[in-house]
Amino acid sequence: MVNTSQPLGSNHDRAERAEELRRLLNRAAHAYYVLDSPEMEDSIYDQLYRELLDLELQDSSIVTTDSPTQRVGGRPAEGFSSVRHRIPLLSLDNAFNHDDLHSWYGRLLKVLDREPPTGSPLPALAMVGELKIDGNALALSYEDGLLVRATTRGDGEQGEEITANARTITSIPLRLHLKPAPAWVEVRGEAFIPDATFQAINNERQSREESLFANPRNACAGTLRQLDPMVVASRRLDFFAYTLHLPDDWQGSTPRNQWDALQWLGDAGFKVNPNAGLLPDLASVEHFFDQWDNERRQLNYATDGVVVKLNDFQLQDAAGFTQKAPRWAIALKYPAEEAPTKILRISCQVGRTGVITPVAEFEPVSLAGTSVSRATLHNADRLEELDLHDGDTIVVRKAGEIIPEVVRVLPELRPAISQRLKLPQICPECSSELVREQGEAATRCINSSCPAILRGALRHWVSKGALDVDGLGSKLIEQLVDRGLVQSIADLYRLDEALLGSLERMGSKSAENLIEALNASRSQGWAKQLYGLGIHHVGDVNAKAITTAFSDSDSLHQAACHEPDSITAIYGVGKEIAQSLQQWFSNPANQLLLNELHSLGFSLALNEDEQTRAIAAAANNHLDGSTFVLTGTLPTLTRSQAKEQIEAFGGKVSGSVSKKTTYLVAGEEAGSKLSKAQGLGIKILDEDALLNMLKEFP
């Protein structure tokens, strides 16, 4: 029996009573919002909440961060700060049918060294199937059981801190239901707006003559970025937890597989999707996927597929990661919704490298909750393949539920008199003749003065991965180019505050800040400068490798034009990149740009920090020329950690044993790779031997 009217005598311990009220209210909220099993009448809850609020108003020292009264409070935020995730939030690779699923499973068996002999059945690995919620990923950080930070996914490495907003989501516990709690725990999950709630929000907005949200996912994303937590609370978001990370020295209950992790999250107070399944083999995964293709339409939230995860955590570690995704998980997506519509015209976009991209413009149709009227056609080959004619009826869908695409034409509905749609022969931006090299799919404008190419080059130069110039957005770049104020990257650094201040939506303070940002960008490193130049095929990763090998633009110019083999000798850099560098440095206009940048204060060379890193890399390169293969489970290192350390010292890690293999690093339960390596006479290392080798210097 809950006592709702305990008197507050002079000897009453307010802190003790407040603690009791917090415990009762948090338990009731968990039962209502997470377990969907109310255990307290609303009137009783309201009385207890009021009593707790009165106590906290009388004595602010007893207010705690996990109090139900603190879910919504404080002034609206002035903005969101960017924070780095303790553990990156990687994306998942996608599969779109059973064949894609089988291909992924085959790759998984190969990397785990469990491929069956030809003609033998596939070995069964236990997996977990979880519905893929169409919401927004959040990372929740707890310390000593208390929620201390919530962040959006962002780019996977860092996101925006939205702790005040996340605290309004009643299915996110402010304090873990664990005693004792870990020193820290990272919980990942999906915030979403249930369909019924979404409809109610839109009905309310319509009554106020406000614009409607397109779909629940967009509404959720916009809500999480509201600066006022009161607005977030009014939208009644929900949350499913699906992943956790615990400290290595945690002595409490530690899940050894994904199924147990879901149970752990539920015990800790999180809402876990009840529709997950423990699936013993691939056939069970297929059945689970097919079953939910029909049943998902009965759910009160949007789901666009099934996430399949290898259950065993040790096997997950053994499988490791690619550069962007875990090998042990796949997002198996349901077929995208399709809709017919009528083509209106073909327009063209000009990219920063001059590539012409045809775009189909059609009568608007609703797909996955959004109105769609344009879709890229990629290149002339795709346009020809579709055989598009004016007035055609086409079928459109959203690839991966995100990107609109034209799937096919319905020729039976074609008007009697119609003409085939083709790419133009002249650039829509500068009227120069377009060129298509033999053997290439891309059609290009090769006029380096083309305004579209210039706008694209400027946007790339100032982007975060390149020179990171804050305050120079697309609209301002368009003004600068359209008015003829900027005709090259170098011209950006000749702008002054008076000229910028005269532009539309640019005040004196904005102009001053932009000039400061431009000046600061001159000190960016050589790798960012090279990447910012926008050379075809040279990405940010390749730029780092290239600038480590060639310390300035002069040495890179010499190599690109006269010693291309020295470029392809760089690990991960192929002939395609070397050819792009040769073509770029051979262009007189680009040489003029480099000279101008030099005169404007750009070093186009390694700065002090980059030189230090390059020297360290060269000094520790004693494994250069050695190829390693990893198999089995190592005592302390995961496979990905071992790979990173080997590559840091110049070694190469391969997935298969061959005559070119220098060393095999074998842990427990080493498979057929060990036998093959022994048969080839390859030297076998255990973890200790590997670590000793990493410490050695020539």
Residues labelled as active-site residues: 132
Q: Nearest Cα to 146, choosing from 212, 77, 64, 39?
A: 64
- Tokens 């039962």 -> residue: 31
Greatest alpha-carbon span in the chain: 94
Whole-number Cα distances in Å, 558 to 95, 319, 567, 605: 44, 42, 11, 14
Q: Which residues pair with 684 in a beta bridge?
A: 664
- For every residue of 461-500, DSSP letters joined together read HTSTTTT--TT--HHHHHHHHHTTS-SSGGGGGG--HHHH
Q: In this structure, how many other beta carbons lie within 10 angstroms of the beta carbon of residue 54?
A: 10
8 A C-beta contact, residue 104 and residue 87: no
8 A C-beta contact, residue 150 and residue 166: yes
Phi then psi for 676, rounded to 5 degrees?
-65, -40
User: Collapsing DSSP states into helix, strand and coil, what is residue 625?
Assistant: coil
In 268-337, alpha helices (H): 282-295, 313-319
The whole-angstrom separation of Cα 8 and Cα 568 is: 80
The residue type of 194 is: P
Strands of the 303-310 sheet, one edge to the other: 94-95, 329-333, 303-310, 127-133, 277-279
The whole-angstrom separation of Cα 511 and Cα 503 is: 9
The whole-angstrom separation of Cα 81 and Cα 352 is: 31
Strands of the 238-245 sheet, one edge to the other: 146-152, 136-143, 184-192, 238-245
Q: Which residues pair with 472 in a beta bridge?
A: none
**Which tokens belong to 67?**
């109090």
The residue length of the chain stands at 698
* SS3 sequence of 96-134: CCHHHHHHHHHHHHHHCCCCCCCCCCCCCCCEEEEEEEC
The whole-angstrom separation of Cα 281 and Cα 122 is: 9
Task: Give yes or no for a cis peptide into 117 (omega within 30° of 0).
Answer: no
